[in-house]
Structure 1
Amino acid sequence: MGGHGAGGRSVGSADDVYLTFRAIAEDQPGPKLRAQFERCWPSYREWFLREGEAVRPSYAVCLRMLRTHMPELVPVYERLIGAVDGDDQMARFLSLYSPTPFLAACSQAMWTRGARPALLRNYDYRSHLLDGVILKTRYTGTRVIAMADCSWGALDGINEHGLAVSLAFGGRRPVGPGFGIALIVRYLLETCTTTREAAAVLRRVPVQMAYNVAVLDREARHLTAFIAPDREPVVTAAQVSTNRQGAIDWPEHARIWATVEREQALVHCVADGQGSLDQLTRAFLMPPVYRATHAGGWGTLYTSRYLPREGAMECLWPDRSWRLGFDDFVEGEQHVRYVVRAAAHPAGPA
């Protein structure tokens, strides 16, 4: 998980990290997406080739896998390649089939009581690997607002039917043939209207690495799916997930990223009958759930709150919020400053 575009990063001093988040509306892949892709392609390409070009699947394999598992996305994929004037390497990258492995942390929780069901998530990753683009699109006829990853993939998002989806790393290291999770999230948002439909997709589409996928619909029906390349998906009613799929499989990662501590803090908020959505939201903006920025840019880069009945997302930081809805989506930018809190960053992928 996690973008690799360095799309919005600039560093002003040794102590501060700055990111620019952009909101872009474009129904179909076109000049706006192309401009973003051109900014990011050098970093995308470096990541794509990190293990050697021969390791990545051929274009023929990528297209066949898309046609087999996500046929509704094939016309979009072909328009996307045309929009960026893509060559073979670009087309293989954009398929997001068996990409270079990537992982991070992230926390998720769903609020299902009262009139405002909500899906909240913290995206914990390295700042220069984030695209930082919120896309409002209509690729398959369904309006979608999503935090973009690898151009057209999605780290989290909502569609006009009120289905909200987000992801977190599952805390396990197996890698296998399958799609990058960002494209699976995109597919859910493009083709599903309910939690039940999303569960069916998550049970059948092959995934490259272990992830926890949170899904909430307009009727407050919810699920958390634990998916991985080496075992069958497990669909649960859990309202909270961080970076484990049951037992801790990777103790070092769990310790560094406080997997259990973050999970317990959120479970307390959700289980407390006296709590509120605002209290849960505040928990995402405070330790231990919120991870301060470390040298190298590691930390919580943004909090997103999805409101299915309002058709809107709110992108949150400790000092500000940014609301973007289907009926009030305004293109623009947010310039966010992160103050480095420690001398060394947590261990993680480059």
Structure 2
Amino acid sequence: MRCTFEAISEDLPGQRWQSIFRQFWPGYRQWYLRDGERARPGFLMCRRALRDHMPELVPTWERLVELAGGGDLEARFLSMWGPPPYIAGCSQAVWLPLPGNHVAGATPALLRNYDFAPALLEGVWLASRWHGRRVVAVNDCLWGALDGINDSGLAASLSFGGRKAVGNGFGIPLVLRYVLEFAEDVDAAVEMLSRIPVHMSYTVSLLDRAAQWATVFVTPDRPVEVVRKQAVSNLQHGVEWAAHAHATLAEVREEALAAVVRQADDSREVLRALLRPPLFQTSYGRGHGTLYSAVYHPCDGSVEMVWPDATWRQSCSHFVPGARMIEFDVESTAPPHTVMPARRWMLDDVGSFQ
């Protein structure tokens, strides 16, 4: 399996974003309509949700809808209000130098592995300035973010929370995009995450230039929680979806990552752990192989996208467009009924975790 990762710089939504939309919309459309069009919220509900919870995004949403052709379905999808349920893997860590640490260049870092199916990855690394602030983020759902950093020095990433609960709310990538667009620091980001409803359970890791950090549990059916966990996988307070936790080694990954974070003298030690088992996963055919590792450095606004044999560096101040082709060895192939032609494993595909 091969994935193309492309770095794109476009300050305001235009032709480059429109080409991304045209490339990925057929797959997203199929995913969005998997339960029928009536299963998804109507246009007025989607617009009201954006206006109520993330009003600053509305002008950009309207511009993107225009670039996407102005259709009702496209507008509803891009609102990301009430999308179909979806899940992924992922490991995340906030590393902080201990007092007395004299390792050269040892500055706080946010690190993550993104575990998913290669065939379902956008692979777009977008540098934008949609609302005046430079944001460098890995795209998902066409304008959401899986992880990223802004020029205020706030870094953020997300991982699935390991629960089946589904409720009324936004898909988390758009919420993370909103945080990166408008929050200057961790406190502001936590405030946003505390008031914006999400449709499933996720864990968001945050780190800013002042070395303030937070791990935030967001769910559709529980109050938002800020917890003092520097290392997380796909658990919140414990295993709630046993099949998912077993298949993705969630407990093993979290324990291994926490041990490394406690002992590491440098974020490079944490990165090395992310690039080897059990944190580095190779079950690409089953949809939870590690597609990339990322290291965010808020102190200088830089980021590295890393694979076992390659590193790609960018920053908010110096972002260079380009592309990388990454090849993945497929450990196993999932049965046909578990490989969806759309964008995400769904909650009824529990067989994927047997």
- Within 2, Cα distance between the matches of 1:259 and 1:178? 25
Structure 1 residue aligned with 2:270:
280
When structure 1 is superposed on structure 2, of 157-166 and 291-300 the one drifting more is: 291-300
Matches within 5 A, 1:159-174: 159-174=150-165
1:333 counterpart = 2:317? no
8 Å contact 1:224–1:239 — kept in the other structure? yes
Structure 1 residue aligned with 2:342:
none
**Shift, 1:164, TM fit:** 0.3
- Within 2, Cα distance between the matches of 1:57 and 1:340? 37
Structure 1 residue matching 2:190: 3-state secondary structure: helix
Structure 2 residue aligned with 1:271:
262
Structure 2 residue aligned with 1:7:
none
- Within 1, Cα distance between the matches of 2:283 and 2:321? 27
Q: Provide TM-score, normalisation by structure 1.
A: 0.92
> What code does the residue aligned with 1:291 have?
Q
Matches within 5 A, 1:193-342: 193-272=184-263, 275-295=265-285, 298-342=288-332
1:145 counterpart = 2:145? no
1:161-200 superposed Cα distances (whole Å, 9 cap, x missing partner): 0000000000000000100000000000011011111111
Note the residue ranges of structure 1 that are not aligned, 5 or more in a row.
1-16
Structure 2 residue aligned with 1:83:
67
8 Å contact 2:248–2:288 — kept in the other structure? no
1:309-333 superposed Cα distances (whole Å, 9 cap, x missing partner): 1211111111101011122211000
Structure 2 residue matching 1:99: 3-state secondary structure: coil
8 Å contact 2:88–2:288 — kept in the other structure? no
Match of 1:125 among 97, 113, 116: 116
Note the residue ranges of structure 2 that are not aligned, 5 or more in a row.
339-344, 350-354
When structure 1 is superposed on structure 2, of 23-32 and 295-304 the one drifting more is: 295-304
- Within 2, Cα distance between the matches of 1:149 and 1:343? 24
Structure 2 residue aligned with 1:28:
12
8 Å contact 2:118–2:284 — kept in the other structure? no
**Shift, 1:344, TM fit:** 4.5
Structure 2 residue aligned with 1:111:
95
Structure 2 residue matching 1:198: 3-state secondary structure: helix
Structure 2 residue aligned with 1:184:
175
**Shift, 1:293, TM fit:** 3.8
RMSD between aligned alpha carbons?
1.4
Structure 2 residue matching 1:255: 3-state secondary structure: helix
When structure 1 is superposed on structure 2, of 321-330 and 61-70 the one drifting more is: 321-330
Structure 1 pair 264–296 and aligned structure 2 pair: CA distance change class (3 A): closer
- Within 1, Cα distance between the matches of 2:155 and 2:240? 28
**Shift, 1:128, TM fit:** 1.5
- Within 1, Cα distance between the matches of 2:227 and 2:283? 32
Structure 2 residue matching 1:104: 3-state secondary structure: coil
Over the matched positions of the two proteins, sequence identity in percent amounts to: 45
Match of 1:71 among 45, 48, 55: 55
**Shift, 1:271, TM fit:** 1.0
* Matched pairs, number: 332
**Shift, 1:237, TM fit:** 2.2
